[in-house]
Structure 1
Amino acid sequence: MRNDNEPSEETKNEWENDPDNWIWGMFYYNPKDKRSYFPKRIKEFGWHANYADPNYIVIVLLLVAVIVLFIKYAR
């Protein structure tokens, strides 16, 4: 079942194929798309991240903080 607020698969594909939603051709930035991650066209190659999603920014900042703390206190 689909959520009524969720865009259709066709809309999601249009967003992914729109060059205006890609910064330098490699960073996906679309505030209308609420997905944090979505599979690449060839699913075996991994996932893309939506840099416009605030949840993704929080995840990245937490990851960087953990890495910095690990490097600082691992000695």
Structure 2
Amino acid sequence: MNPVIENNFKYHAPQPGQPEIYQEIRDKAKELAYLIDEKAPNSREKSLAMTKLEEAVMWANAGIARN
């Protein structure tokens, strides 16, 4: 068995305090999303920036959950 695979593909129930951290990360990302939406012209690049921001939030929260 590979412990990294086992950890990455299991459910991680939120520990005390984690939901608040997840929300804080989402709130900051939303603030940046609004800035990007306001300042960047509608384009493929803007769409990619928004997608990558969503990915950053997902990976940050996964990092907290998994570790």
With the shorter chain as reference, the TM-score category is 0.3 to 0.5
More RCO (CA 8 Å, sep 6+)? 2
Bigger fraction of residues in strand: 1
Q: TM-score, normalised by structure 1?
A: 0.33
Bigger proportion of residues as helix: 2
